[in-house]
Amino acid sequence: MIGKLLKLAGWIGDAREWLMLLALAAIAAGFYVDARRVRADRDAWASWGGTVCAFAGSTTAAATVTVQTDKGPRKVDKARGQRCAEAVQDLAAFKAGSQAATAGLLADAAKQQESKAAADRAAATDDSAARRAAAAHMEEIDAQIRDDDRVDGNWFAGLNDLGGLR
């Protein structure tokens, strides 16, 4: 029995080495998969950055550009991606400025519309009062018509007032 236990202990010792090797292989495989994922993410972000730069009308390449200063033109080295970042910032500033200007124009238009609506309401109120007065005046003139159904100039003047011709 002791011999069998010693054999089992020997196999467990060998198995421990194999299990350790398998564990190391699994960890190495995990690192490999993680590195592949990191490379894929990096490539996706680089592609996205290139697309954004292309839409912004720039490139990610480093370059030397000439800028205008108070002392005249001067050459400046731009790091990789700096020109693209500046182009995107310019576009963002343009968008913000455009939205602010549009909001201001819309606010001014709303104020003008409100003042016009107030003027229209006042004019409609005045017109309504004039129509009521003209209708009341026409009723008075109709009441003054003689039995022979003859009308005079006052009746025609009231009719013109009622029709809005005066």
pLDDT digits (tens, 9 = 90+) for 19-43: 788 899 999 999 999 999 999 999 9
What phi, psi does 116 have (nearest 5°)? -65, -40
Q: Is 57 left (phi over 0), alpha (psi -120 to 50) or beta?
A: left
pLDDT, one tens digit per residue, over 109-154 is 999 999 999 999 999 999 899 889 888 888 888 888 877 777 777 8
Could you tell me the residue ranges of all domains in the chain? Answer: 1-56
Question: Can you tell me the distance from the alpha carbon of 80 to that of 58, in angstroms, rounded to the nearest whole number?
Answer: 11
pLDDT for 139 = 86
Helices 153-163 + 82-143 axis angle, to 10: 160
Question: Can you tell me the distance from the alpha carbon of 26 to that of 18, in angstroms, rounded to the nearest whole number?
Answer: 12
**3-class secondary structure, 61:** coil
pLDDT, one tens digit per residue, over 90-112 is 999 999 999 999 999 999 999 99
pLDDT, one tens digit per residue, over 39-81 is 999 999 999 999 999 999 988 888 888 888 888 898 888 888 8
Task: Enter the pTM of the model.
Answer: 0.53
pLDDT for 165 = 72
